[in-house]
Amino acid sequence: MKKLSLLAPLFFAPALLLADENATAPVAAAVAAAPKLDGANTAWVLTATALVMLMTPAGLALFYGGMTRAKNLLNTIAMSFTAYAIASLVWVLWGYSLAFGTDVGGVIGSLTLFLSDIKVTDIWATGNIPTLLFVAFQMTFAAITVALASGGAIERLKLSTWMIFVVLWVTVVYSPIAHMVWGGGILAKDGALDFAGGTVVHINAGVAGLVLALMLGKRKDYGKAIFPSSITLTLLGAILLWFGWFGFNAGSELAADGIAANAFLVTNTAAAIAALSWMVVEYVVYKKYTLLGLASGLVAGLVAITPAAGFVDNSAALIIGAVAGIVGFVGVNVIKKAFKYDDALDAFGIHALAGIWGAIATGIFANPAVNSLGKGLLYGNPGQVLIQVKAVVVTIVFTAIGTAVVYGISSLVTGGGRVSAEDESIGLDEATHGEKGFHI
């Protein structure tokens, strides 16, 4: 018996080895299936994130600042600057989880504070980039969206009201829209196509800007000749926006691949032809080639191609951009004048209207040969247009109601959202900041 007990391990060893293999097989499979960091994609998205960051406190600040009067130049820049800083904090404290957390009712993500559920080693499956890099990339989108909305409110909104507005708006308006479209919410489940932010960024911001303009009321000298402080600054800002937009659109692929290259190229194509189409229409109507019009057309083209950039080819980009320049011109020079609302820097006329056109055009021109995830009307899927229209309508309604509520609360907290008549007359640079943009 003693000899048999000594030999027992020899008889049972194969079975023990087999059992050990079966036990470790799931672990080995899990290790094999774990996503591996892609260095090239990571490097590109790091670069794209930096490009999009540049768009708010530099590009948009100068673009908007140059269009306002000299006495309000610094205050206008401050609104973009503070929007970026505050939105950055809101995003990492709780906003990201509301946008990209586990779906709750198709409208919002589950709340997690301080990114506490994300480790440095976590990998975002799309692109195999660090999850924290995806957080940072999306943060820059949240920041520029709320900053764009300031264009409807400049020269008469208290900075204190604006800062509270940014906190609340990113939380209860931007994050839910981002979740609905990009975070697995109801519009994502419908199949809405928005490559880089037609609904999430531009329609959202443009509608918010219009609501702010309507709730604040017109500037006291609205209708009189109001001259921009520096078309030069506006042009510089537009060029920085054009430059940063390559990160905005091509970066949204989250990979260094052919779709990113396509997004880069069509972004430039649409921007270029939109600038020229605005200029041509402006000359036909006013017999002038204004540089402000050229810059505005450029931005309208960038806005319109944003939702389509990863889904359409270069020929479609020409059409989308050409129409965007005309749509933006009509929004600024026809619709605003007809309805007499004081959207000072045309957040609605350019961003919302060109964004609506771009979102619907994506449903028309999305080419599966460019991206298998998108198939539009011209390629046998007319239903995509209806899906895009639904996404547009949901965004408009949600944003309009949410913005009105958020502004109402912000205004209540600060004892009214509008500056005093005296401060408005003096100018907000001196009244709010005690500084001047130009010493002449």
Residue 16 pLDDT greater than 60, yes or no: no
Question: What's the chain's Rg over C-alpha atoms?
Answer: 25
Per-residue model confidence (pLDDT) at position 440? 66
CB 57 within 8 A of CB 70: no
Residue 436 pLDDT greater than 80, yes or no: yes
Say if residue 6 is exposed, middle or buried (CB neighbours under 10 Å; 0-12, 13-18, 19+): exposed
Say if residue 121 is exposed, middle or buried (CB neighbours under 10 Å; 0-12, 13-18, 19+): exposed
The Cα angle at residue 227 between residues 223 and 229, in degrees rounded to 5: 145
Rounded distance between C-alpha atoms, residue 310 and residue 410, angstroms? 37
Rounded distance between C-alpha atoms, residue 324 and residue 304, angstroms? 6
Q: Band of the pLDDT at 12, cuts 50, 70, 90?
A: very low
Rounded distance between C-alpha atoms, residue 400 and residue 204, angstroms? 9
Per-residue model confidence (pLDDT) at position 226? 87
DSSP state letters, 372-428: TT---GGGT-THHHHHHHHHHHHHHHHHHHHHHHHHHHHHHHTT-SBPPHHHHHH-H
Place of tokens 């060029």: 239
Rounded distance between C-alpha atoms, residue 263 and residue 246, angstroms? 8
Residue 32 pLDDT greater than 70, yes or no: no
Mean pLDDT of 259-266: 98
Mean pLDDT of 139-143: 98
Per-residue model confidence (pLDDT) at position 4? 38
Per-residue model confidence (pLDDT) at position 225? 80
CB 117 within 8 A of CB 184: no
Per-residue model confidence (pLDDT) at position 84? 98
Per-residue model confidence (pLDDT) at position 35? 84
Separation in Å, CA 167 to CA 135, 171, 172, 250: 18, 6, 9, 28
The per-residue pLDDT for range 202-244, each reduced to its tens digit, is 999 999 999 999 999 999 999 888 899 999 999 999 999 999 9
Question: What three-state secondary structure class fits 307?
Answer: coil
Residue 154 pLDDT greater than 80, yes or no: yes
Q: Band of the pLDDT at 34, cuts 50, 70, 90?
A: confident
Which one-letter DSSP state was computed for residue 130? E
Rounded distance between C-alpha atoms, residue 429 and residue 395, angstroms? 34
Report CA torsion sign: 140, 310, 121, 50. negative
Rounded distance between C-alpha atoms, residue 185 and residue 108, angstroms? 7
Rounded distance between C-alpha atoms, residue 363 and residue 8, angstroms? 71
DSSP state letters, 318-384: HHHHHHHHHHHHHIIIIIHHHHT---TT-IIIIIIHHHHHHHHHHHHH--TTT-TT---GGGT-THH
Q: Band of the pLDDT at 33, cuts 50, 70, 90?
A: low
The per-residue pLDDT for range 334-351, each reduced to its tens digit, is 999 999 999 999 999 999
Per-residue model confidence (pLDDT) at position 9? 41
Mean pLDDT of 1-24: 43
Task: Please give the domain boundaries of the chain with CATH numbers for all domains.
Answer: 33-88+124-433 (1.10.3430.10)
Over the chain, what is the mean pLDDT?
93
The two tokens of residue 383 are: 């239903």
Per-residue model confidence (pLDDT) at position 241? 98
The per-residue pLDDT for range 380-390, each reduced to its tens digit, is 999 999 999 99
Q: Name the residue with higher pLDDT: 1 or 198.
A: 198
The two tokens of residue 412 are: 């209540």
pTM: 0.92
**Residue 435 phi, psi dihedral angles, 5° rounding:** -140, 165
Per-residue model confidence (pLDDT) at position 72? 97
Q: Band of the pLDDT at 183, cuts 50, 70, 90?
A: very high
Rounded distance between C-alpha atoms, residue 356 and residue 148, angstroms? 16
Place of tokens 């929004």: 331
Rounded distance between C-alpha atoms, residue 133 and residue 397, angstroms? 31
H or E segment and range at residue 249? helix 231-250
Quick one: which of 210, 234, 249 has its CA closest to 351? 210
The per-residue pLDDT for range 61-118, each reduced to its tens digit, is 999 999 999 999 999 999 999 999 999 999 999 999 999 999 999 999 999 999 999 9
Per the rule left: phi > 0, alpha: psi between -120 and 50, beta: everything else, 420 is beta
Rounded distance between C-alpha atoms, residue 24 and residue 105, angstroms? 38
